[in-house]
């Protein structure tokens, strides 16, 4: 083991280049070729890899520092025994020296020879084709900002080879045909022109010299055709500086326009590599670097946020079950706005609602209960109830009627077992009460409603509602519900479709009672009709079950004497 100072290698003569990313920290163990830091000129980014494996002893630079060839970057305790000679990092691209000559197409003699002894390769030989910078849409010179492949890489047609950038736009140059990248004749930071040969690709061609020559020139033609086709396909809205370039990859890198293409994002090679390793779609990552460049930390933060969301279930709010997220909108462009923080309850409610909406196949059925008699009875009992300290609204009657209906129609008093093989039939009846509170929607649970009288239910419901509104509910007072009642009766409305509060399988929405004409067989008579909606989980409950449940419930509410039977 020995200590060595890693310095900036030959960076093509660039001076005072800014460090925009440091990818290691003191104490890190690093491998040879692992990215240490990223430098950026005004046009290009380049990675500085570690010359050999070891442990970082000290960082001699920080983000924002300007460095030139020979500047000391860090101190490394080398774990490589033969570490005496090479103590300078080389940029990833520096290994590729431009070739002296580059014939348009040549037969690879070695491969052809090999084909003579290898029967499996008897039908094809390899040919070397030039990779040519395509039509740049009028730009005279553009800078190479990224090398997406290295010599030796096997590429499919359309795999990214290099990324070019003008001062306004970046463009991705893909492989025109599949093959093995033989060499790249350019480095990051180089300027290239249309028609310039920037590399060579080893491709398969038919055997036989005439055939091979034809094949090779056909492939070379394909190179140009692919470029031209890509040029034709480029979007009409491309930047003026580069009006038509391959693969519709042009974007104004400084534009705040929405990113839609992986190649349109502004990110260095190391960030792109990290994104590829983690399977991150860079178009979804917000860049915090200079000119909104996406750094490795941005990618890590994005992944951390996703993991956190997934763990808390909040992911469902934005993109549950793989459903594309609703695009972010800058509302300020439409008028004055103000951002108000969501309460914890609102966030939890949002996550729960999304989860339930996405997971539960909902059906909602509607009915009306004639509560004329119930209301008359309630009015007659009001004074007495008040003497007992009880406010007699329709709610306790609804709770009692729902509890009785659940007992009489037990198909509603179930939950789906998480094993997917069983239903949980409940032999208790706890009713949830959806409650509008200053902090958001809360659902306290009134236990054993089937065993309690109207006064007791009214008293307990009032206490639970008050606790909910004062933020005093204990967790166990919000658990264990079998069925929820959501009453908007005091607010108005003729009907709504409530979302099932899973793992419950049904919920009842109550709207405002109204006097309506009802036919009694002889004449229309005014009756107080209460609109009800029951939403249910169609995996657990069928329409016929709901029909029976509704009939039972409506009968109970229409004649409250039945509640004591």
Nearer to ligand COA, 394 or 503 (CB): 394
| Largest CA-CA distance found in the chain, in angstroms, rounded | 109
Using the minimum distance from each CB to ligand COA, give the nearer residue, 250 or 508: 508
Candidate ranges 41-49, 58-66, 391-399, 405-413; the one touching ligand COA (CB under 6 A): 391-399
Q: Please say whether the beta carbons of 293 and 315 come within 8 A.
A: no
Which is catalytic among the residues 263, 418, 430, 538?
Answer: 538
Query: Residue 523 CB, nearest distance to ligand COA (Å)?
Result: 25
In the 3-class helix/strand/coil scheme, how is 212-261 assigned residue by residue?
HHHHHHHHHHHHHHHHHHHHHHCCCCCCHHHCCCHHHCCEECCCCCCCCC
Find the binder of ligand COA among 51, 54, 498, 503 (CB under 6 A): 498
Of 227 and 558, the one with the shorter C-beta distance to ligand COA is 558
Among 142, 249, 510, 540, interactor with ligand COA by CB under 6 A: 510
Choice from 24, 131, 171, 435 touching ligand COA (CB under 6 A): 435
> How many other β-carbons are positioned within 10 Å of the β-carbon of residue 354?
21
Toward ligand COA, which CB reaches closer, 178 or 497? 497
For strands 483-487 and 431-433, give the pairing: parallel
Q: How far is the CB of 47 from ligand COA (least distance, A)?
A: 53
Please tell me whether residue 542 adopts helix, strand or coil conformation: coil
Alpha-carbon span 404 to 408, nearest angstrom: 6
Helix, strand, coil percentages for the chain (3-state, nearest 5): 35, 25, 40
Count of residues interacting with ligand COA (CB under 6 A) = 19
Report the residue from 91, 176, 289, 394 that binds ligand COA according to the rule CB under 6 A: 394
DSSP H or E run through 12: none
Answer for which of 230, 416, 465, 508 binds ligand COA (CB under 6 A) is 465
DSSP E strands in 383-433: the ranges are 414-416, 423-425, 431-433
Residue 343 tokens read as 């309460």
Q: Is 487 in the site for ligand COA (CB under 6 A)?
A: yes
229/512 with CB nearer ligand COA: 512
Q: Which residues in the 57-86 window bind ligand COA by CB under 6 A?
A: none
Is residue 488 at the binding interface for ligand COA, with CB under 6 A as the rule? Answer: yes
Least distance (Å) from ligand COA to the CB of residue 325?
A: 24
Considering beta carbons, is residue 186 or 401 the nearer one to ligand COA? 401
Does residue 444 bind ligand COA (CB under 6 A)? no
Residues numbered 317 to 356 that lie near ligand COA (CB under 6 A) are none
Figure out which of the listed residues 11, 395, 546, 557 binds ligand COA, where binding follows CB under 6 A.
395
CA-to-CA dists, residue 40 to 34, 112, 234, angstroms: 18, 43, 28
Q: Can you tell me which residue has the tokens 């000119």?
A: 291
Q: Across the strands, what pairs with 351? A: none
Decide: is 530 part of the binding site for ligand COA (CB under 6 A): yes
Beta strands per DSSP E along 25-91: 29-30, 35-40, 45-49, 54-59, 66-67, 72-78
**CB closer to ligand COA, 382 vs 548:** 382
Is 430 designated active site? no
Residue 512 in contact with ligand COA, rule: CB under 6 A: yes
The residues, ordered by sequence, that sit 6+ positions from 509 with a Cβ below 8 Å of its Cβ are 486, 487, 488, 495, 496, 497, 498, 532, 533, 534, 535
Dist. CA 5–CA 232, nearest whole Å: 50
What are the residues binding ligand COA (CB under 6 A)? 393-395, 433-436, 441, 465, 486-490, 498, 510, 512-513, 530
- Active-site residue set: 538
């Amino acid at each position: 083991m020995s200590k060595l100072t890693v310095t900036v290698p030959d960076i093509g003569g660039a001076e005072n280049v800014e460090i925009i990313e440091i990818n290691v920290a003191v104490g890190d163990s690093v491998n040879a070729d692992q990215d240490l830091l990223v430098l950026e000129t005004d046009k290009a980014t380049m990675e500085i890899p570690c010359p050999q494996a070891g442990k970082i002893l000290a960082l001699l630079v920080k983000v924002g520092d300007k460095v030139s060839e020979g500047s000391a970057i860090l101190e490394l305790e080398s774990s490589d025994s033969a570490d005496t000679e090479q103590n300078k990092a080389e940029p990833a691209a520096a290994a590729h020296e431009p070739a002296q000559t580059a014939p348009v197409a040549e037969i690879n003699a070695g491969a052809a020879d090999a084909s003579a002894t290898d029967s499996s390769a008897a039908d094809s030989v390899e040919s070397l084709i030039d990779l040519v910078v395509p039509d740049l849409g009028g730009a005279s010179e553009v800078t190479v900002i990224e090398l997406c492949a290295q010599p030796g890489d096997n590429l499919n047609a359309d795999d990214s080879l290099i990324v070019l950038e003008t001062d306004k736009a970046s463009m991705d140059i893909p492989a025109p045909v599949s093959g093995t990248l033989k060499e790249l004749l350019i480095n990051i930071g180089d300027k290239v022109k249309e028609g310039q040969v920037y590399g060579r690709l080893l491709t398969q061609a038919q055997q036989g010299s005439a055939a091979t020559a034809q094949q090779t020139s056909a492939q070379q033609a394909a190179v140009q055709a692919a470029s031209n086709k890509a040029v034709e396909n480029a979007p009409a809205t491309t930047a003026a500086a580069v009006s038509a370039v391959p693969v519709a990859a042009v974007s104004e890198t400084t534009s705040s326009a929405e990113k839609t293409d992986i190649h349109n994002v502004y990110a260095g090679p190391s960030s792109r590599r990290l994104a590829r390793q983690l399977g991150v779609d860079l178009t979804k990552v917000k860049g915090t670097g200079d000119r909104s460049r996406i750094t490795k930390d941005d990618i890590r933060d994005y992944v951390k946020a996703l993991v956190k969301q997934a763990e808390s279930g909040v992911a469902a709010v934005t993109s549950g079950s793989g459903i594309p997220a609703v695009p972010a909108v800058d509302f300020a462009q439409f008028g004055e706005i103000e951002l108000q923080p969501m309460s914890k309850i609102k966030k939890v409610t949002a996550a729960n609602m999304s989860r339930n909406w996405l997971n539960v196949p909902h059906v909602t059925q509607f009915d009306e209960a004639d509560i004329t008699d119930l209301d008359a009875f309630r009015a007659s009992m009001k004074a007495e109830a008040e003497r007992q300290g009880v406010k007699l609204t329709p709610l306790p009657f609804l709770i009692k009627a729902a509890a009785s209906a659940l007992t009489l129609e037990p198909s509603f008093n179930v939950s789906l077992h998480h094993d997917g093989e069983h239903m949980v039939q409940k032999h208790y009846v706890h009713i949830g009460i959806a409650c509008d509170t200053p902090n958001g929607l809360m659902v306290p649970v009134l236990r054993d409603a089937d065993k309690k009288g109207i006064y007791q239910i009214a008293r307990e419901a009032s206490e639970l509602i008050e606790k909910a509104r004062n933020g005093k509910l204990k967790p166990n007072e919000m658990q264990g519900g079998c069925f929820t009642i959501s009453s908007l009766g005091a607010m108005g409305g003729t009907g709504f479709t409530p979302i099932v509060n899973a793992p419950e399988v049904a919920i009842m929405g109550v709207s405002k009672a109204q006097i309506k004409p009802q036919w009694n067989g002889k004449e229309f008579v005014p009756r107080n009709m209460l609109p009800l909606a029951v939403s249910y989980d169609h995996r657990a409950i069928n329409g016929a079950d709901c029909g029976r449940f509704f009939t039972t419930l409506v009968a109970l509410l229409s004649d409250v004497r039945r509640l004591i039977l």
